[in-house]
Amino acid sequence: MAGNITFTMIKPDATTAGNTGKILDKIIEAGFTIKAMKWTKLSKEEAGRFYAVHSERPFFGELVEYMTSGPIVAAILEKDNAVEDFRTLIGATDPQKAAEGTIRRMFAQSIAANAVHGSDSDENALIEGAFYFSSREHA
Ligand code: IDP
Ligand code: MG
């Protein structure tokens, strides 16, 4: 059975462009409830650890640079079928391939600076949420 928790980050291109509020509106309108939320900035070490699964990919250095270039908003979200529904809401990694109406289609700059993160599995949603929040911080 699919879980009801996912994890997101609003990425530096979107926070810096002033799109945080518009993106949060889209997320809430789509039926997600915010369980925890934090405006923060990643260190290089933290960004590298968060994206460790991509450490062998050619874009890893670029990804760490980008994710530390400005503030991010980290949040734990709740909804039925959360992981899959959130991936549908944000659209494809490459905004040029993302469907009309998706958050990445509307707000992303490029495949790297693509406005939002969304967990890819129930297991990773829990791991990624725990990266930023203690269980005490989930409302
Ligand atoms: P996802 O965020 O849609 O799950 P992943 O393949 O997990 O995509 O990649 C993680 C992040 O790495 C992407 O969201 C994007 O910011 C960055 N990224 C992915 N592919 C590329 C690329 O080809 N060039 C530059 N950055 C990339
Ligand atoms: Mg991914």
Any ligand 1 atom below 6 A from CB of 24: no
Write out pLDDT tens, residues 14-49. Answer: 999 999 999 999 999 999 999 999 999 999 999 999
Q: How far apart are the first and last CA of the chain?
A: 23
54 is catalytic: no
Question: How far, in Å, is the centroid of ligand 2 from the Cα of 137?
Answer: 24
pLDDT tens-digit map of 78-131: 999 999 999 999 999 999 999 999 999 999 999 999 999 999 999 999 999 999
Counting from 1 in the atom list of ligand 1, the atom nearest the Cα of 92 is: 3
**Token pair listed for 139:** 């409302």
CA-based nearest residue to 74, from 18, 35, 16, 31 = 35
Q: Order across the sheet with 72-78: list the strands.
A: 33-40, 72-78, 5-10, 116-118
Residue 120 alpha carbon, nearest atom of ligand 1: 4
CA–centroid distance, 119 to ligand 2, in Å, is 6
**Catalytic position from the list 117, 125, 128, 133:** 117
Domains (range + CATH), the chain: 5-138 (3.30.70.141)
Which residue has 């928790």 as its token pair? 5
